[in-house]
Amino acid sequence: MQASAKASTSIVRDFERVSAERVSEASQFQAAILADVAGRRGTLHGRVKPLAPTMKIAGPALTVEVRPGDNLAIHAALAIAKPGDVIVVDGKGDLSAALIGEIMSTQAEATGIAGFVIDGAVRDAHELANGRFPVFSAGLNPAGPTKSVAGRVNLPISAGGTTIYPGDLVVGDVDGVVIIPRADVDPILAAAHKKVDAETKRVAAIKAGDTRAPWLEKSLRAVGMLEEGEAL
């Protein structure tokens, strides 16, 4: 009797994703708005930037962990990713070799993947920066990667100093990348709508001449920069 194939413990194929409806809603917001209402948590280190300032990204995280300079696990992720996924790679912040370039980016775009977020280096920057497919990375290096070291796909990772689980919401723009845990997406989006409304009103008030922040003096007193009853 033939033995059944054993599932890999390094590649998880099935996981629950944040819904397409929530992804579409989240894509309306700046990463900065989401980061603020999430308590200033969940942002990747500022080294992870889009290759072009116009690039934006939103979708459920498909997580990848690699050894520095090796992209074998990213190829596995490309093979199992679903349209709309954002491939998020813990590359250890290593810039000694590029983990993806034009060929892998083209493959990802052709299969409907929403983009790459890589805490590591990429290459073919001119082609990628002038394309439509979003690529966020920690830097550049012309050296290519190896494909010989085991990694992990769709297990929890830490990229850019942030813990990311498969299916979490990823939103990125010119300011950087923020991760919203899947279970927190609904209340975070509700808070984001309220914050945008409040900021829109505040900007209008400033333009109308109300240029003093209404909370400033109270905060200065709280930290001892102003005495009680003292005003600026």
Task: Find the radius of gyration of the CA atoms of the chain.
Answer: 21
Output the 3-class SS for the chain. Answer: CCCCCCCCCCECCCCCCCCHHHHHHHCCCCHHHHHHHCCCCCECCCCCEECCCCCCEEEEEEEEECCCCECHHHHHHHHHCCCCCEEEEEEEEEEEEECCCHHHHHHHHHCCCCEEEEEEEECCHHHHHCCCCCEEEEEECCCCCECCCCCEECCCEEECCEEECCCCEEEEECCEEEEECHHHHHHHHHHHHHHHHHHHHHHHHHHCCCCCCCCHHHHHHHCCCCCCCCCC
| CA-based nearest residue to 87, from 66, 40, 67, 39 | 66
pLDDT tens digit string along 173-227?
999 999 999 999 999 999 999 999 999 999 999 999 999 998 999 999 999 999 9
Q: What is the pLDDT of residue 229?
A: 86
168, 180 contact by CB (below 8 A): yes
Domain at 20-182, CATH homologous superfamily:
Ribonuclease E inhibitor RraA/RraA-like (3.50.30.40)
Burial tier of 103 (Cβ tally within 10 Å: 0-12, 13-18, 19+): exposed
Residues 126-143: b if buried by 16+ CB within 10 A, e if exposed: eebeebebbbbbbbebee
Which residues of the chain carry a pLDDT beneath 70?
Answer: 1-7
Determine if the pTM surpasses 0.95. Answer: no
Half-sphere exposure of 43 (CA within 13 A, CB side): 20
Residue 1's pLDDT is 44
Residues 6+ apart with CB under 8 A from 134: 50, 55, 56, 57, 114, 115, 116, 172
Domain ranges of the chain: 20-182, 191-222
